[in-house]
Amino acid sequence: MESRVRDILIELGEDPDRDGLQKTPKRVAKALRDLTSGYHEDPLEILRSAVFDVDHQEIVLVRDIDFASLCEHHMLPFLGKAHVAYLPRGRVVGLSKLARVVDVYARRLQVQERMTTQIARALQEALDPAGVAVVIEATHMCMAMRGVKKSNAVTVTSAMLGEFHEDPATRAELMKLITMGNR
């Protein structure tokens, strides 16, 4: 990968041997491996490693989970917050595992829509809850830095499964909980 980054620098008109760029190919390769490390982690294994029997059947929400991902179309970052909720049926998962699952999917080449659905489906499969909801808000550098250059545009996606999909009152309660922190 380092030699390819070096070739890219040359193609851009740069001198990869100049002082500031000598270690750039190595740094870029290391960064890309880190930013795509989610391919090497199993989200279901992460979730199933911390499931506990607890008599709780109301909404569990972890909101404002920061993430950074790379858009698969331009390999530019998109950054935002994920809000992940579920309705347990006597089984809960360690809260940090919800954030870890967001990171697993964010650390792959992605589109926001797919990432939202992947997180929801993983929770549904691992926990079999009465419902799952994932809402993601993100700013895409491919829109902010190039193309239309709209730096304040925020993309919002959601995936609602089970009761969050079927029951408007449950969905409304969730949305109220998500927006409570934004006052």
Catalytic residue annotation: 71-74, 112, 140, 142
Identify residue 19 by its one-letter amino acid code.
D
User: Got the DSSP string for 29-64?
Assistant: HHHHHHHTGGGG--HHHHHHTTEEE----S-EEEEE
DSSP code of residue 137? E
Local structure of 104: helix, strand or coil: helix
Between 95-106 and 112-127, two packed helices, what is the crossing angle to 10 degrees? 140
What is the 8-class DSSP label of residue 16? T
Tokens representing residue 124 in the block: 């549904």
Residues 54-86 as b/e (b if ≥16 CB within 10 A, e otherwise) read eeeeebbbbbebebebbbeeeeebbebbbbbbb
